[in-house]
Chain A
Amino acid sequence: MDGNFNKPERLTKLQVDLLNDFQRDFPLCPRPYEKIAELLGVAEAEVIAHFQQLTEQKYISRLGAVVTPHKAGWSTLAALSVPEGELEEIAEMINACPGVNHNYERSHEFNLWFVITGADQQTVETTLVEIEAATGYDVLNLPLVEAYQLDLGFPIKWH
């Protein structure tokens, strides 16, 4: 990212380092927070406390493994075009289906976009057919064909 962005006021230098430097290569050793503490020259307890705080303040969504799509299981991006007045009701129907984990209203004729995951392609596509039957609207099924970006993190540079 370019850096002409004022960081949230409450973030300290240590917190910015924790957010930035450990999006990948998080230590796989018995005491990872101790290892991070050594690298940053602070105490292990401080690292744990700040990760806790960043998580509570929602600056960190989570700390853990990010899976690669389609390596173990199946997922797709799907879209529907539904009348504004039915959006909430249909979103609720979709959210209740197994494997639905992102659902957004977007500014387009196709206004409802969700990601659905499952054990395999057939499981996911069966659910999509059920969604079409339940809602009465066609589903645009847009599975990933190829990824050109490895999502190795998101550098956040602040002045």
Chain B
Amino acid sequence: MNNISPKSQTIAFDDLDRAIVAATQSGLPLVKEPYEAVAHIVGVPASEVMQRLQRMLSDGIIRRVGVVPNHYALGFKANGMSVWNVPEDSIVELGQKIGALDFVTHCYRRPRHLPDWPYNLFAMVHGKTRDEVFEKVEKISDLLDDADQGHEVLFSTKILKKTGLRIKGS
């Protein structure tokens, strides 16, 4: 398949953690004591729910707890997945530069699949219109300079399914 092994780390994550994440991912209840409501679902005290969420945040299992805005409904109708062919030996430095741009929400290194797929860096660019996305993609290209060995922008033209990244409760 490819010669890059994606990083995998072993981190303590038990069934209760899984149940808590599953219960909060589908939406924290909009009641006065939401962690109490989650506690009822998973069968432990609310204090343990909060403690475990805090621990999972510290361990990096959870990236954040909070509002997940719907970019599309808020007017950012043109979301382009920009894909880049950049030299592997400078990809970390380049990825960090692009990831720091305020119009990029996700910046990931992924494996190439030659000859079909030469791109190894993905950056999701949000904009109100396609033209705005293209302008921003040009900014990335300028920033990469010679390291831009080819890029494309893929717009979503139809949503075939969208439920959000979830961990299923076991």
Interface status of A8 (Cβ within 8 A of chain B): yes
Picked from B53, B62, B69, the residue with its CB within 8 Å of the CB of A68 is B62
Tell me the minimal C-beta distance from B130 to chain A in angstroms: 10
B67 touches A63 (CB 8 A): yes
Using A60-B70, A63-B67, A117-B166 as known contacts, say yes or no to A68 and B106 having CB atoms under 8 A apart. no
Flag whether B147 is at the interface (Cβ < 8 A).
Answer: no
Inter-subunit contact B81/A62 (CB<8 Å): no
**Which residue in B30, B66, B156, B166 is a CB contact (below 8 Å) of A106?**
B156
**Which B residue's beta carbon lies closest to that of A98?**
B168
Q: Is the CB of A145 within 8 A of B67?
A: no
With a cutoff of 8 Å between Cβ atoms, the chain A residues found around residue B81 in the complex are 106, 113
Tell me the bound Cα distance from A91 to B109 in angstroms: 26
Cβ-defined partner of B154 (8 Å) among A6, A113, A146, A147: A113
- Bound together, the chains give a CA A25 to CA B96 distance in angstroms of 23
Residue B41 lies at the interface, judged by CB distance under 8 Å to chain A: no
> Shortest Cβ distance from B104 into chain A, in angstroms?
6
**How many residues of chain A have a CB within 8 Å of chain B?**
83
Min CB–CB distance B123 → chain A (angstroms)? 8
Kindly identify which residue among A22, A67, A77, A154 contacts B105, using a CB–CB cutoff of 8 Å.
A154
Cβ B65 vs Cβ A26 within 8 A = yes
* Interface class of chain B by DSSP: mixed
How far does the alpha carbon of A145 sit from the alpha carbon of B91 in the complex, in Å?
A: 11
The reply to whether B98 and A51 form a contact with Cβ atoms under 8 Å apart is no
Q: Does chain A have a CB within 8 A of B50? A: yes
Contact status B66-A63, CB under 8 Å: yes
| A37-70 vs B, Cβ < 8 Å mask (1 yes, 0 no) | 0000000100010011001011111111111111
Chain A: which residue is nearest B106 at the CB level?
A149
Docked complex Cα distance between A24 and B62 (Å): 11
A residues neighboring B (CB under 8 Å): 1-2, 5-8, 18-19, 22-26, 28-34, 44, 48, 51-52, 55, 57-75, 77, 87-88, 91, 95, 99-108, 110, 112-115, 117, 121, 140-156
Closest 10 CB pairs of A and B: A149-B99, A148-B95, A148-B99, A105-B158, A103-B161, A103-B160, A26-B66, A24-B64, A91-B160, A149-B107
Give 26 A-B contacts (CB < 8 Å), ordered by A residue.
A1-B76, A5-B128, A25-B65, A29-B50, A30-B36, A62-B164, A64-B28, A65-B62, A66-B64, A67-B21, A68-B63, A70-B6, A72-B17, A77-B110, A103-B160, A103-B161, A104-B157, A110-B116, A115-B165, A117-B165, A142-B113, A143-B111, A147-B107, A148-B96, A148-B108, A154-B69
